[in-house]
A = this chain, B = another copy of it.
Amino acid sequence: MTGDLPVPSPDSSSLTEFSLIRQFFTRQAVKNSSTRLGIGDDCALLAIPDGYELALTTDTMVENVHFFAGADPEQLGHKLLAVNLSDLAAMGAQPLSVMLALTLPVVDEHWLTAFAKGFLALAERYSVDLIGGDTTSGPLTLTVQAMGLVPRGKALMRSMAKPGDLIFMTGFLGDAGLGLKIKQGYHCNNPDAALMRFNRPDPRVDAGLALRDIATACIDLSDGLAGDLGHILAQSNAGACLDWEALPLSEAVLAYIQDTGDWLMPLTAGDDYELCFTVSPENTAAFEAACQFACKKIGVIESEPGLRLNKSGHIQALQVKAYEHFS
């Protein structure tokens, strides 16, 4: 814990930094034998089982950047953990534990109760231990670091796609992007599913675990398919061609495209938190026959650099881009 500038408070507050964390976030028992020490000391302690590596990721969400002011705190708590578990899923890692760094403008017990409810419900679902954190005052900024276990050498890398590999993705594309459009004022006849995908993404943990021995490369779709697949292509020194007709688009997204002409939205909008992965051609048939989760073949890895789209037989270059903050 860091020291702070403000004047020491001679009267002990009912909600101090330490009691805050305890009151709202430590109502759960430790779930993993790996958790040797949780909240309450200078550090947490993890024991990693033999034959495993620890996967670590961190993601920050900032008010008015990643979520709107006044966003539902229970959904925020869920989403903050979900986007980190999604990174673990993209490595094929089993979620283990998290640390939570909360910067809060005020202590709002109602907000904290709802935020913790959303956060801890998802943690419970995947037996994730909250093992530490830091609580500071300041503009609303939420950072999670998530840890997961993956058998040594089995992690799914972005760099291992090969020309000829087939490209798959889980779930649907662009629903979260449509949810954002709806929040920004777009009228949709059936907004609920798209808003749910934007507000409460489901990390594809089970799919990630199932892909450990199958996928050659994997990434989660946080910044849009074009940009995220672009990372696989850049790190694998390869290109790709996507098949427009094969993209898993919901009826609501198809209606949005028909209505607006904005067919690039599902390719560039972020926040879907589906997995995009590649499978070698010799494994594809067996994979498709045995696959236990919803996914769709959407394209192929090619040796020629760049990302292309086959749309009604016309192949066009797609500029590889992702949402960027600083531009």
Copies in the complex: 2
- Give Cα A20–Cα B147 distance, bound, in whole angstroms: 24
**In contact, B326 and A103 (Cβ under 8 angstroms):** no
Contact of A65 among B42, B107, B137, B147 (CB under 8 A): B137
Q: Specify which chain B residues have a CB less than 8 angstroms from the CB of A1 in the assembled complex.
A: 59, 87, 222-223
Q: Specify which chain B residues have a CB less than 8 angstroms from the CB of A50 in the assembled complex.
A: 50
**In contact, B136 and A139 (Cβ under 8 angstroms):** no
Q: Specify which chain B residues have a CB less than 8 angstroms from the CB of A5 in the assembled complex.
A: 64-68, 180
**In contact, A56 and B44 (Cβ under 8 angstroms):** yes
Chain A contact-residue range equals 35 or more
Contact of A13 among B42, B64, B223, B326 (CB under 8 A): B326
A261 within 8 A of B: no
A62 within 8 A of B: yes
- Chain A positions 243 through 276: 1 when the CB is less than 8 Å from some CB of chain B, otherwise 0: 0000000000000000000000000111100000
Q: Specify which chain B residues have a CB less than 8 angstroms from the CB of A303 in the assembled complex.
A: none
- Give Cα A145–Cα B68 distance, bound, in whole angstroms: 26
Binding site for B on A (CB under 8 A): 1-6, 8-13, 15-17, 20, 36-37, 40-48, 50, 53-68, 83, 87-88, 90-91, 93, 99, 101, 103-104, 106-107, 131-139, 141, 143, 145, 147-148, 150, 152, 155, 157-159, 176, 180, 218-220, 222-224, 235, 268-271, 319, 321-327
